[in-house]
Structure formats: C-alpha cells, structure tokens
Chain A
Amino acid sequence: GDSVTQMEGPVTLSEEAFLTINCTYTATGYPSLFWYVQYPGEGLQLLLKATKADDKGSNKGFEATYRKETTSFHLEKGSVQVSDSAVYFCARNTGANSKLTFGKGITLSVRP
C-alpha cells in the first residue's frame, strides 16, 4: 500500500545551519507530495507541496523537489532559524480521493 518513510529524528541544529530532512514514498499511482509543519502548541499547517515529477515546492525559505526516479521529496533550507523549531511531516495523497498518508514526523530543534 501507500507509505511514506522519514528519516529518524530528532534533529538539533545551530541557527543558520543547513537543513535536510529526508522523505521517500511508495511509487504507486501519481501522488501529490506535501510537507506539513506543526509548531509547538499549534495545529498542522501546510508548508509546501508538489503535484508532479520535477516540481519544486517552496515556502518560507524551505524547498523540496518531487523526484520520481528516486521516489523522494527531501526538505531543505539553507539557513535555519530558531523559529523553525517544530515537527515536520512528509505526506502523500492517493490521487483517488486525496486522503493523506503521513510519515512519522521528525522534530527539529534549532538553538541560538
């Protein structure tokens, strides 16, 4: 079935460090891919998405490219801030009715 695998966490970085969070998905159908973020005490928010192969989603300095050949959608940011501390979830939909399958999530902590 559909699944999403995220790298194990947690991740702790210093401010202004480069961030990569790995995500791979099962190659069934033609899914859209998403990154959601959950800030402390808040609900899930859509960070970015990509709807087809080679698309790049971007928002708030974060980027992720839909790589069909490696079934990956890794999240990157060139210079993280303390305010980026949150839990990040990678997700895919099924294409049929848009229900989402999420990875386990990874906690990012950025220290000053």
Chain B
Amino acid sequence: GAGVSQTPSNKVTEKGKYVELRCDPISGHTALYWYRQSLGQGPEFLIYFQGTGAADDSGLPNDRFFAVRPEGSVSTLKIQRTERGDSAVYLCASSRDGLGSTDTQYFGPGTRLTVL
C-alpha cells in the first residue's frame, strides 16, 4: 500500500514568487495535516482538513499561506509572495479520521522549500 506522497521533493524559488506544494494522502484517510519544519526544530502545525474543509487553520502564519483539498483527497499548499523566512521542509500527514485521540498520523517525505 502506498504511503503519503509529496511533490516536488525539492523546490527552489526566488523571493516574491508563488509556489504550490502537493500532498497525496493514504487512500481512504479523511484527515490531512500540513506541518512546517525549520532546521533544528520539530514540525509545527499549519492546517488540518477533515474531508474537503479546513477544520483548523490556526497554524497558518499569515494570509500569504493558503491550502485547499477540493475533492477530499489531494491537497495543495499555496504560498504567495514567498519570503526567505519561508524556507523550510513542509510536511504532510494523513490519518484515518482525525476524530479521536488514538488516531495516528502518517507522514510524507516532505518538500524542502528554499527561497533565495
């Protein structure tokens, strides 16, 4: 069975540009999460989807960040007017239903974003 996949694995862009990062969760998982991991730190929560809707976007740092999951499967994280401080590894995770404290998240390999 396939795990969580993310594309691209690496993305280099220039300051001010727009980027999209894609996440393909485990088939059948209704919950999907985005995290950001800066060098030497643990992952930090960005946004959580339950099906097609964003149930919790409290971790998005500002309005340059936006994420969608239109069909309840694949999700795209969109960053406008990128800044050097956005450079990090962006991780996606999925879980079966996200509704119980025993639910387990499975992580993708991440997209390493570098903003020059």
Binding site for B on A (CB under 8 A): 4, 30-32, 36, 42-46, 49, 51, 89, 91, 93, 95, 97-105
Flag if A98 contacts B103 (CB, 8 Å). yes
Residues of chain A with a CB closer than 8 A to B108's CB:
43
Interface residue from B44, B59, B105 paired with A98 (Cβ < 8 Å): B105
A48 to chain B, nearest CB (A): 11
Flag if A100 contacts B105 (CB, 8 Å). yes
Residues of chain B with a CB closer than 8 A to A31's CB:
101
Q: How large is the interface on B (under 10, 10 to 19, 20 to 34, 35 or more residues)?
A: 20 to 34
Could you list 12 A-B pairs, sorted by A, with CB under 8 Å? Answer: A36-B107, A42-B109, A43-B91, A46-B106, A89-B42, A97-B98, A98-B99, A98-B101, A99-B33, A100-B35, A105-B41, A105-B42
* Bound form: Cα–Cα A102–B38 in Å: 12
Binding site for A on B (CB under 8 A): 31, 33, 35, 40-45, 48, 50, 55-56, 59, 91, 93, 95, 98-110
Flag if B33 contacts A43 (CB, 8 Å). no
Residues of chain B with a CB closer than 8 A to A46's CB:
104-106
Flag if A100 contacts B103 (CB, 8 Å). no
Flag if B107 contacts A102 (CB, 8 Å). no
Residues of chain B with a CB closer than 8 A to A104's CB:
40-42
Flag if B107 contacts A98 (CB, 8 Å). no
Residues of chain A with a CB closer than 8 A to B44's CB:
102
Given contacts A43-B109, A44-B91, contact A100 B100 (CB under 8 A): no
